[in-house]
Amino acid sequence: MHAVGEPMKIEELPVPEPGPGDVRVAVHAVNIVPNLANILNMWTTWFPHSPLPTLPAIFGLDPAGVVESVGPGVQAFKPGDRVYVNPGRSCGSCRSCRNEDSINCASYAFAGYFGFSPTALDLLDRYQGGLAEYMVAPAYSLVKLPDSLSFNAAARFGYLGTMYSALRKAGAGPGKTILINGISGTLGIGAALLAPALGLTHVYGTGRDRGLLDQVGKLADGRLRLHALDDGPLDDWVREETDGYGADIYIDALGPGAPHETFLAGMRAMARGGIAVNIGAVAGDLPVDIHRMMDQQLRLIGSAWFTSGEGQAMADMVEGGLLDLGPLEHQVFPLEQVNDAIGGIARRNGGFSNFIISPTAAA
């Protein structure tokens, strides 16, 4: 990427060399997330405080591939290992990093995407993204993949892991009643796929597209209860489904353009003592009823991304037969068609579509 708002270009660059603690990965698959077009075209206007890497730069958020070489000091990985590369980068020395809380690093950044503070620029420039034949990444970012997990499916770990981390933060498990706003979308469908692995028995989900909801309803061994938003207020529906109790956990996976009322209805559907987790980034100032939150002892938190350890847990779930990513519909493009893939993602089959760039595929 040379300039904001312009198509990306294919160029020949030197093969990167891994430094101490780093590995070089031969990239086989990179997931194209729905938000990438916004990052490339409007990010500097929308969020100028969250920097892009210094341009020109290699983008690409969710790579998976094979370790080709390792730098000095790398012990847990070796050439030939199949891996997913978590794009989260941390400095290793701020207070959060020293407290083993790297995802809250003061300079936290998504390699090949954007940073969360002005001090993230160094990490963004040091570690480029995955839209290339080769990339360098710190060993702490890697997730070992079982042979049973394809690179295309592993490249979906970003949004899947975002849902997994939110569910973990909320204490999701057997006996908990969970509401997922936007369950048929790219983020939301992760809850349907993860439900069997986490032992979730009461999963309620909303969406607007009835056809997609019908597809989602076939997942998770029939554990899902689904509601089309055109069929009435979701908070009334949840109360009816739970005998007036409400949802112990509410996860909002709706994107920045979603109407505020849908988010607020989810808040009204919560049970006393419940927790709400926002992972979809609904934009703007929302009139949340703070007094009700106090009276009902409700919590509302934001959750951004996931750790490499959580990514490894998901890979282990796949290996153990608990997590089935078979329902994903892979649409694979060669690297030369990256701009076509970014432009075509608007025509996806909800969260089932998995847009993949494969640097090893022929144009």
Only one residue has tokens 């790219």, namely 186
Say whether the peptide bond before residue 56 is cis (omega within 30 degrees of 0): yes
Helix axes 189-198, 157-169, angle to 10 degrees: 60
How far apart (Å, rounded) are the C-alpha atoms in residues 289 and 78?
52
How far apart (Å, rounded) are the C-alpha atoms in residues 216 and 203?
12
Q: Which of 259, 160, 250, 170 is nearest to 204 (CA)?
A: 250
Only one residue has tokens 């899947």, namely 160
Helix axes 157-169, 308-319, angle to 10 degrees: 100
Over residues 228-254, the pLDDT tens digits come to 999 999 999 999 999 999 999 999 999
| Ranges of each domain in the chain | 22-149+325-357, 163-302
Q: Which of 38, 33, 61 is nearest to 341 (CA)?
A: 33
Q: Which CATH class is domain 22-149+325-357?
A: alpha beta
SS3 content of the chain, % helix, strand, coil (to 5): 35, 25, 45
C-alpha distances in Å from residue 39, one per residue of 53, 282, 307, 357: 11, 16, 22, 17
Q: Tokens representing 230?
A: 């055109």
Per-residue pLDDT of the chain (363 residues; tens, 9 = 90+): 999 888 999 999 999 999 999 999 999 999 998 878 877 877 777 777 889 999 999 999 999 999 999 999 999 999 999 999 999 999 999 999 999 999 999 999 999 999 999 999 999 999 999 999 999 999 999 999 999 999 999 999 999 999 999 999 999 999 999 999 999 999 999 999 999 999 998 999 999 999 999 999 999 888 899 999 999 999 999 999 999 999 999 999 998 888 999 999 999 999 999 999 999 988 889 999 999 999 999 999 999 999 999 999 999 999 999 999 999 999 999 999 999 888 877 788 899 999 999 998 754
270 forms beta bridges with 247
Question: Would you state the pLDDT for residue 35?
Answer: 76
Asked if residue 107 lies in contact with residue 117, where contact means CB atoms within 8 angstroms, the answer is yes
Question: Would you state the pLDDT for residue 49?
Answer: 81
Q: What is the pTM of this model?
A: 0.95
Question: CA 281, 138, 39 angle in degrees (round to 5)?
Answer: 30
Question: Would you state the pLDDT for residue 362?
Answer: 55
**Superfamily classification of domain 163-302:** NAD(P)-binding Rossmann-like Domain (3.40.50.720)
Taking the mean position of all CA atoms in its chain, how far away is CA 341?
18
Q: Tokens representing 322?
A: 């608990």
